[in-house]
Amino acid sequence: MEPVKVGLLGLRTVGGCTVNVLRRNGDEIQRRAGRGIEVVAAAVRDLQRPRICPTDGMRLTEDALAVVRDPEIDVVVELVGGTGLALDLVQQAISSGKHVVTANKALIAEHGNELFALAREHGVMVAFEAAVAGGIPIIKAIREGLAGNSIEWIAGIINGTGNFILTEMRDQGRQFADVLSEAQRLGYAEADPTLDVGGGDAAHKLTILASIAFGIPLRFDQVYMEGITHITPQDVRHAERLGYSIKHLGIARRTDGGVQLRVHPTLIPARRLLANVDGVMNAVLVQGDAVGPTLYYGAGAGAEATASAVVADLVDVVRTLTTDPENRVPHLAFQADALHGDLAILPMAEVETAYYLRLQADDCPGVMAEVTQILGDRGISIEAIQQQEPEPGEVRVPIIFLTQRVRESSMDEAIASIEALGSIHGEVTRIRVETLS
């Protein structure tokens, strides 16, 4: 049987590794897929640039549209990134009747709804396993492996750079900015790290996970996101003393009031597996009503791991080329006409969590009474209080509170009142706490 013909848009690290994996494991992949998979063309930005993969038997061009429209090509792999040119090219590929495989989380999270509609119109697949958690087959696990479950919640470490920084802060007691520079030197973090440490990258991935878990359209604009830039080594240490780790989590939870979609630093019990996922690794914990908790762990980034997911998608596409489009696995796990578009996203003010609070207080007797009074007035129960020694060179005393679960809006009010106290200095640090049980 003729090999399936693939065109790549982008031939740098992920593209190059995709070619390398397809060649290195070509025999095994064909033994699985039943057909060979051959990259016949690749669009590149600069024909002169050196490549990390062999390019024999492959047409290289600077004209991406030529690849997208090439009648010989069955599947287009989009590795351009971003939501500008990539969107245009993917639309053109779909309109030309090509199946699409993409690693582009921003594209899917922000434009997936339109792209999938267009793909249905043209009877083609758009596969995006590589868009979330790199090589971990988390899309497939939720979409197919847990298809019998009503998914209750998902909590994931889905940004490797952020996890690397938090791990270094914990293990080495280093400052955020210091570790970030190192991550940039090591190539883990982009020159502009905003998407990684600000939560945008995790929000893209969470958007996708929530859709396939709950059967809702992609709602990126409604994800609450908070980065890790304000986490200090002191917070990491205090959390550890209390038996917690701080992880930057994406959390999606179905509640009676609506779906929670939130990305923020989170204290989780140190004994949980998720708390022990360190460095650049990713892991996603999924709670299903029948299966209970399942966890999926692996490399969330890296060119070979991402290529692993791209090739898995290619094999899936090859296997369903001849399937009636109506019987393929739906893009978002649920049939397009069965997505619950009216399911509300819960505003962050209405989300209930427990909290870690860190205050800088004058070392005088009345402070504790004032603060506990404010918390009590808003119905906020205190789980633990720790008054720590002042940091070296500081005269003010850090006080740590762990609270029980309370609505975010009540905590907002309480924090505003606490910050207005004369005996409290600077902003109150607030980190949400989840037991993940």
Residues at the site binding a second copy, with contacts judged by CB under 8 A = 17, 21-22, 24-25, 28-34, 129, 134-137, 140-141, 144-150, 215, 273, 276-277, 283, 288-299, 302, 304-305, 307-312, 314-316, 319-324, 326-330, 333-335, 338
Single out the residue of 266, 188, 184, 187 nearest to residue 225, CA to CA: 266
Which is closer to a second copy, CB of 26 or CB of 347? 26
Q: Could you tell me the smallest distance in angstroms from the CB atom of residue 255 to a second copy? A: 16
Q: Could you tell me the smallest distance in angstroms from the CB atom of residue 275 to a second copy? A: 10
What count of other Cβ atoms lies within 10 Å of the Cβ of residue 373? Answer: 10
Catalytic residue among 98, 140, 205, 247: 205
DSSP H helical ranges for 173-244: 176-186, 194-198, 200-214, 233-241
Please give the torsion angle defined by the CA atoms of residues 15, 18, 22 and 28, in that order, rounded to the nearest 10 degrees: -170
Rounded distance between C-alpha atoms, residue 363 and residue 338, angstroms: 59
Which is closer to a second copy, CB of 332 or CB of 354? 332
Q: Could you tell me the smallest distance in angstroms from the CB atom of residue 10 to a second copy? A: 17
Rounded distance between C-alpha atoms, residue 306 and residue 337, angstroms: 31
Contact predicate 253/263, CB 8 Å? no
Rounded distance between C-alpha atoms, residue 80 and residue 320, angstroms: 25
Rounded distance between C-alpha atoms, residue 343 and residue 257, angstroms: 9
Q: Could you tell me the smallest distance in angstroms from the CB atom of residue 83 to a second copy? A: 26
Give the chain's radius of gyration (CA, Å): 24
Which is closer to a second copy, CB of 24 or CB of 230? 24
Rounded distance between C-alpha atoms, residue 241 and residue 286, angstroms: 27
Q: Could you tell me the smallest distance in angstroms from the CB atom of residue 346 to a second copy? A: 20
Which is closer to a second copy, CB of 28 or CB of 389? 28
Which is closer to a second copy, CB of 85 or CB of 273? 273
205 is catalytic: yes
Task: Kindly state the tokens that stand for 307.
Answer: 């290529």
* Residues with catalytic function: 205
